[in-house]
Chains A and B, each alone.
Chain A
Amino acid sequence: MDSPAANAAFAKQINIKFPLLSDMNRKMLTTYGILKTYDVKGDTYQWALRANIVIDKDGIIRHIEGGDSAVDPNTAVSICTDLHKKQSTK
């Protein structure tokens, strides 16, 4: 699992302008139901399901996808853009 330090090095490397968050204790992943458990030869491992989640200003989930479909962020990005446009016209 990446630590904040590893994330900081990466953010600097590619000049990222948004926060990179670490869920070191997996609390958020558990709450969101995106922690995946693998049993490999009797040992259990857990890591996150890949996911894209869009949450609006009211804290309501507007889009959620996990697994292979979440590899492509375009759906989530277009939902964000639409959401922003709708809010701007209100």
Chain B
Amino acid sequence: MKRLLAVCLLLAMSSVLKPAPAEPQNKEKEEVAKMSLKVGDKAPDFNLLSDEWKPVKLSDYYGKKNVFLAVYVLAFTGG
């Protein structure tokens, strides 16, 4: 597992968004994201800031490591 890179994407939105009002769920219209990518597709490159304020590109790992992206929202950072 040493060559496996785990990348965790933390996207807690609580500091930006107003908390959702405690209304009945049926008043909310939800548009579920359509995941456009599938197994076998080339993963689009990205360039994101790490917790050390360094840019991290997916392409930095080409030929070097497998990448596990875990996308979290409203995560546990207390954001």
Chain A interface, >50% SS class: mixed
Chain B interface, >50% SS class: loop
Cα–Cα, bound, A81→B18 (Å): 40
**Contact partner of B28 among A6, A29, A40, CB < 8 A?**
A40
**What is the total number of residues of chain B having a CB less than 8 Å from a CB of chain A?**
67
Q: Tell whether, in the assembled complex, residue A49 and residue B15 are in contact, meaning their CB atoms are under 8 Å apart.
A: no
Cα–Cα, bound, A89→B78 (Å): 42
Q: Tell whether, in the assembled complex, residue B4 and residue A80 are in contact, meaning their CB atoms are under 8 Å apart.
A: yes
**Contact partner of B66 among A41, A50, A57, CB < 8 A?**
A57
Q: Which of B's residues lie within 8 Å of A, judged by CB?
A: 1, 3-13, 15-18, 20-21, 23, 27-46, 48-53, 56, 58-59, 61-79
